[in-house]
Amino acid sequence: MDKILYWLVMTVFTLLSWLPLRVHYLISDLLYILLYKILRYRYDVVITNISRSFPEMNYKGVKRVAKDFYHSLCDMIVETVWAYTRSSKKIGRHVDFSRCDTLNEAYGEGRNVIVVMGHQPNWELYTALPHLERRYGLKMDNRQFHFIYKKMSSRVADMVIRRLRQKHNSCSVVEKEQIARHLLRNRSEGGVYFLIADQYPGKGASVEMDFLHQPTIVFNGAEELARKLSLPVVFVSVERKKRGHYNAEFTKICDDASKCEEGFVTGEYIRLLEDSINKNRSNWLWSHRRWK
């Protein structure tokens, strides 16, 4: 039954994906009305998160950030569907990198690198990139990009997410629980492991830090892994330049996490993510129940 439902979902995705991008943005505008004005999707969560994160902001400012966030969320949804049947070359026209030398230096001649990032749109487009070296000057090919994800409780949803992220064969998808094993097994090959590390950690490795003016339980599994394996850690922020166009900027956190004080890597990650959010306050997943 799951396979039947999966193929039905993917058939709908495929048919919708064939529509031109401008039509997808019309759908996004309608979806915004549905989610923000009619269903009020997680509205209380969004407003609470924003107001607590920016205590100096009045209610009018909070609502403005919330509206911009819902527009961004809807764009991300339709862009992900649109990208499904598009070539890597076409998708590559919509995304760019800056400060690539930072990642090149960390990778060196084939080291494993941990790249930590936040829930910033549209990270999904970066799983389907064209030739990295020729287009972006990155000294690695697409096979060295590994995106870490948390397995979803719904088998159908999990199959859909994996298919969307692996369709272009431009990266691999590794389950969060398997990352240590994957790193050890492929230690000699070298790879860049992208990990979204700003979610609520649940029962995972965590520490408490101040994030966006609030005491926050922070996932520190990336730091623990990097310390154990003496890996470099890089932060990447994704910024929307204009509708449908994004830039990812790399910033070095450390060359070897094992030589850093405990907590330094996670602290730097939180600081850099906070700085990135403050530059564009709607550019984060405010609907996530981050503080519990």
Residue 149 has pLDDT above 90, yes or no: no
What pLDDT sits at residue 130? 60
Mean pLDDT over 193-206 rounds to 83
As a whole number of angstroms, the distance between CA 139 and CA 61 comes to 43
Mean pLDDT over 273-292 rounds to 94
Residue 151 has pLDDT above 90, yes or no: no
Q: How confident is the model at residue 206 (pLDDT cuts 50, 70, 90)?
A: confident
Residue 171 has pLDDT above 80, yes or no: no
Q: How confident is the model at residue 128 (pLDDT cuts 50, 70, 90)?
A: confident
pLDDT tens sequence across 27-37: 999 999 999 99
Q: Which residue has the higher pLDDT, 167 or 239?
A: 239
Among the residue ranges 72-86, 164-178, 191-205, the one predicted with the least confidence is: 164-178
Mean pLDDT over 13-42 rounds to 97
Which among 142, 137, 147, 111 is positioned nearest to 231, based on CA atoms? 111
What pLDDT sits at residue 47? 98
Q: How confident is the model at residue 279 (pLDDT cuts 50, 70, 90)?
A: very high
As a whole number of angstroms, the distance between CA 46 and CA 229 comes to 37
With beta carbons less than 8 A apart as the criterion, state whether 165 and 196 touch: no
As a whole number of angstroms, the distance between CA 290 and CA 286 comes to 8
Mean pLDDT over 235-252 rounds to 96
As a whole number of angstroms, the distance between CA 83 and CA 24 comes to 11
Cα–chain-centroid distance for residue 123? 4
Q: How confident is the model at residue 204 (pLDDT cuts 50, 70, 90)?
A: low
